[in-house]
A = this chain, B = another copy of it.
Amino acid sequence: MSTDTTPPCKPFGFALRVYWEDTDAGGIVFYANYLKFMERARTEWLRSLGYQQHSLKATAGGMFVVSETAVKYHQPARLDDRLWATAELADAGRVSLTIAQKVFLQTDACADTLLAEGTIRIGWVDALSLKPSRIPSDILEALK
Protein backbone atom coordinates (compact mmCIF):
# COMPACT_ATOMS: atom_id res chain seq x y z
CA MET A 1 0.00 0.00 0.00
CA SER A 2 1.67 3.17 -1.16
CA THR A 3 0.31 5.27 1.72
CA ASP A 4 2.59 3.44 4.06
CA THR A 5 5.92 3.74 2.33
CA THR A 6 8.48 5.76 4.19
CA PRO A 7 9.72 8.36 1.75
CA PRO A 8 13.51 8.45 1.60
CA CYS A 9 13.51 12.21 2.09
CA LYS A 10 12.07 12.47 5.60
CA PRO A 11 13.05 11.24 9.07
CA PHE A 12 10.60 9.30 11.22
CA GLY A 13 6.98 9.97 10.38
CA PHE A 14 3.66 8.39 9.59
CA ALA A 15 1.80 8.15 6.29
CA LEU A 16 -1.87 9.05 6.05
CA ARG A 17 -4.51 9.25 3.39
CA VAL A 18 -7.36 11.81 3.37
CA TYR A 19 -10.82 10.22 3.32
CA TRP A 20 -14.32 11.74 3.13
CA GLU A 21 -14.56 11.60 6.93
CA ASP A 22 -11.66 14.07 7.19
CA THR A 23 -13.07 16.76 4.92
CA ASP A 24 -15.64 19.50 5.35
CA ALA A 25 -17.99 21.47 3.11
CA GLY A 26 -15.15 23.83 2.21
CA GLY A 27 -13.78 20.95 0.16
CA ILE A 28 -10.69 20.61 2.35
CA VAL A 29 -9.60 18.76 5.48
CA PHE A 30 -11.43 20.12 8.54
CA TYR A 31 -8.80 21.92 10.62
CA ALA A 32 -9.59 20.11 13.88
CA ASN A 33 -8.71 16.84 12.19
CA TYR A 34 -5.02 17.75 11.98
CA LEU A 35 -4.96 17.12 15.73
CA LYS A 36 -6.08 13.57 14.94
CA PHE A 37 -3.40 13.18 12.29
CA MET A 38 -0.76 14.45 14.69
CA GLU A 39 -1.94 12.10 17.39
CA ARG A 40 -1.74 9.10 15.08
CA ALA A 41 1.88 10.07 14.36
CA ARG A 42 2.67 10.50 18.08
CA THR A 43 1.09 7.13 18.82
CA GLU A 44 3.11 5.38 16.12
CA TRP A 45 6.24 7.14 17.28
CA LEU A 46 5.68 5.87 20.84
CA ARG A 47 4.88 2.43 19.49
CA SER A 48 8.10 2.41 17.47
CA LEU A 49 9.92 3.00 20.76
CA GLY A 50 8.14 0.11 22.42
CA TYR A 51 5.27 1.87 24.20
CA GLN A 52 1.62 1.15 23.53
CA GLN A 53 -0.68 3.61 25.24
CA HIS A 54 -3.33 1.11 26.32
CA SER A 55 -0.75 -0.89 28.25
CA LEU A 56 1.08 2.00 29.94
CA LYS A 57 -1.62 2.13 32.57
CA ALA A 58 -0.90 -1.44 33.62
CA THR A 59 2.87 -1.44 33.16
CA ALA A 60 3.78 2.10 34.22
CA GLY A 61 0.87 3.09 36.45
CA GLY A 62 -0.02 6.18 34.49
CA MET A 63 -0.78 7.70 31.12
CA PHE A 64 -0.15 10.70 28.94
CA VAL A 65 -2.85 13.34 28.60
CA VAL A 66 -2.84 16.30 26.25
CA SER A 67 -2.65 19.59 28.15
CA GLU A 68 -1.99 22.08 25.39
CA THR A 69 -2.18 22.21 21.60
CA ALA A 70 -1.12 24.92 19.15
CA VAL A 71 -1.49 24.50 15.39
CA LYS A 72 -0.75 26.75 12.44
CA TYR A 73 -2.46 25.94 9.16
CA HIS A 74 -0.46 26.84 6.05
CA GLN A 75 -2.05 25.02 3.12
CA PRO A 76 -5.18 22.88 2.87
CA ALA A 77 -5.25 19.13 2.16
CA ARG A 78 -7.94 17.58 -0.03
CA LEU A 79 -9.73 14.28 -0.54
CA ASP A 80 -7.41 11.43 -1.55
CA ASP A 81 -4.25 13.40 -0.73
CA ARG A 82 -1.40 11.43 0.77
CA LEU A 83 -0.03 13.06 3.89
CA TRP A 84 3.03 12.56 6.00
CA ALA A 85 2.91 13.43 9.71
CA THR A 86 6.07 13.75 11.78
CA ALA A 87 6.63 13.79 15.53
CA GLU A 88 9.75 14.69 17.47
CA LEU A 89 10.54 15.64 21.02
CA ALA A 90 10.99 19.39 21.37
CA ASP A 91 11.31 19.59 25.12
CA ALA A 92 11.21 17.21 28.06
CA GLY A 93 10.34 18.22 31.59
CA ARG A 94 9.86 15.97 34.59
CA VAL A 95 6.07 15.81 34.32
CA SER A 96 5.41 16.85 30.75
CA LEU A 97 6.76 16.67 27.21
CA THR A 98 6.47 19.04 24.29
CA ILE A 99 6.21 17.39 20.89
CA ALA A 100 6.83 19.25 17.63
CA GLN A 101 4.79 17.95 14.75
CA LYS A 102 4.39 18.67 11.06
CA VAL A 103 1.99 17.49 8.41
CA PHE A 104 3.18 17.47 4.80
CA LEU A 105 1.51 16.80 1.51
CA GLN A 106 3.33 13.74 0.32
CA THR A 107 4.32 13.61 -3.31
CA ASP A 108 6.43 11.18 -5.26
CA ALA A 109 8.99 13.85 -5.94
CA CYS A 110 9.92 14.41 -2.31
CA ALA A 111 9.26 18.10 -2.80
CA ASP A 112 6.76 17.94 0.02
CA THR A 113 4.62 20.91 0.97
CA LEU A 114 4.18 21.83 4.63
CA LEU A 115 0.45 21.93 5.39
CA ALA A 116 0.36 22.39 9.14
CA GLU A 117 2.65 22.46 12.13
CA GLY A 118 1.78 21.89 15.73
CA THR A 119 3.18 21.98 19.21
CA ILE A 120 1.54 19.48 21.52
CA ARG A 121 2.17 19.34 25.23
CA ILE A 122 1.42 16.08 26.99
CA GLY A 123 1.59 15.49 30.70
CA TRP A 124 1.98 12.26 32.61
CA VAL A 125 -0.76 11.57 35.15
CA ASP A 126 -1.08 8.87 37.76
CA ALA A 127 -3.57 6.23 36.67
CA LEU A 128 -5.53 6.33 39.91
CA SER A 129 -5.43 9.93 41.10
CA LEU A 130 -5.21 11.40 37.58
CA LYS A 131 -2.85 13.96 39.10
CA PRO A 132 0.34 15.09 37.35
CA SER A 133 3.26 12.95 38.29
CA ARG A 134 6.84 12.22 37.19
CA ILE A 135 7.31 10.56 33.84
CA PRO A 136 8.84 7.11 34.43
CA SER A 137 12.56 7.36 33.71
CA ASP A 138 12.68 4.51 31.20
CA ILE A 139 10.05 6.23 29.06
CA LEU A 140 11.84 9.54 29.32
CA GLU A 141 15.11 7.92 28.27
CA ALA A 142 13.56 6.14 25.33
CA LEU A 143 11.98 9.31 23.95
CA LYS A 144 15.11 11.42 24.17
Given A24-B21, A36-B32, A80-B53, also A71-B72 (CB < 8 A): no
Q: How many copies of the chain does the oligomer comprise?
A: 4
Q: Is A39 an interface residue (CB 8 A)?
A: yes
Nearest-neighbour CB distance to chain B for A68, whole angstroms, equals 5
Task: Give residues 4-24 of A contacting B (CB, 8 Å).
Answer: 4, 14-15, 17, 19-21, 23-24
> Size class of A's contact patch?
35 or more
| Chain B residue nearest in CB terms to A65 | B26
Q: Is A67 an interface residue (CB 8 A)?
A: yes
| Chain B residue nearest in CB terms to A20 | B24
Which residues from chain A sit less than 8 Å from chain B, CB to CB?
Answer: 1, 3-4, 14-15, 17, 19-21, 23-28, 30-33, 35-36, 39-40, 43-44, 47, 52-55, 63, 65-73, 78-80
